[in-house]
Chains A and B, each alone.
Chain A
Amino acid sequence: ILNVEQSPQSLHVQEGDSTNFTCSFPSSNFYALHWYRWETAKSPEALFVMTLNGDEKKKGRISATLNTKEGYSYLYIKGSQPEDSATYLCAFSGNTPLVFGKGTRLSVIA
C-alpha cells in the first residue's frame, strides 16, 4: 500500500511569517509529485507538478522542492497572507492514480 505522509497536520502562523511543510512519499516507481491548494468549500487547485530530482518550482510567494531519492518534497510560503489559508495537499504519482496525503491545514492570522 502506497503511503503519502504530510506534516504537520495543521499550523497557525502570523501574517507576514514564512512557513514550510513536508510531504513524504515512496521513492520507488516515481513519476511525479503533485501539490494542490484546497480552500474550504472549493475544489483542489493544482499548484505544481514536480518530476525531476532536485526540481524547484515557484508560483508567486509559494515554492516547492523535490528529492526523489529520499522521497520528500517541501512546500514553502514566503510572507504568509490570510488568503493563503487553505489545506495543502500533496499527491504521489506512480503507475497508479494519484495517492493523496491527508494535507496540511494552514491558518494565517491577520
Chain B
Amino acid sequence: DAGVIQSPRHEVTEMGQEVTLRCKPISGHDYLFWYRQTMMRGLELLIYFNNNVPIDDSGMPEDRFSAKMPNASFSTLKIQPSEPRDSAVYFCASRGQGGRETQYFGPGTRLLVL
C-alpha cells in the first residue's frame, strides 16, 4: 500500500483565496483524521470521520474551514477565504477500527498564505 496520500505537498496562496487540501486514506481504513501543526499549538485535531461520516469537528477553527469525505477513498479540507494565520502544515491520517490500531500519517501539506 502507498500509505496515506496527500496533495498538494506545498501550497502558496494569497489571502482571500480558496484552498483545497486532499487526502486519500489507506484502503480499508475506517477512520480519517485531519490535523494542523503550528509552532504555537503543536499538533491539533481539526476533524475526524468514521465510515465517511464526520464525527467531531469541534477542532475546526472557524466557519472558513470545512471538510468532506464523499467516499471511503477521498477527503478534502477547504479553507475559504484563507488568511495568513492559516499558514501551517496540515496532516491527514487514517486507521482501522479500534483504538488499538496503528494510525498512519500522510506526508502533510505545507500551506503558506501571503
Contacts A42-B107, A43-B91, A43-B108 given; indicate if A49 touches B43 (C-beta within 8 A).
no
Q: Which of B15-23, B61-69, B94-102 interfaces with chain A?
A: B94-102
Residue of B nearest to A91 (CB): B103
- State the main secondary structure of chain A at its contact with B: loop
Pair A31/B100 contact, Cβ less than 8 Å: yes
B35 to chain A, nearest CB (A): 9
| Chain B residues with a Cβ closer than 8 Å to the other chain, count | 19
A49 touches which of B33, B102, B106 (Cβ 8 Å): B102
A64 at the interface (CB under 8 A from B): no
Which residues on B sit within 8 Å (CB–CB) of A89?
A: 43
| Chain A residues with a Cβ closer than 8 Å to the other chain, count | 20
- A31–B101 Cα distance when bound, in Å, is 10
Contacts A100-B43, A103-B42 given; indicate if A46 touches B103 (C-beta within 8 A).
yes
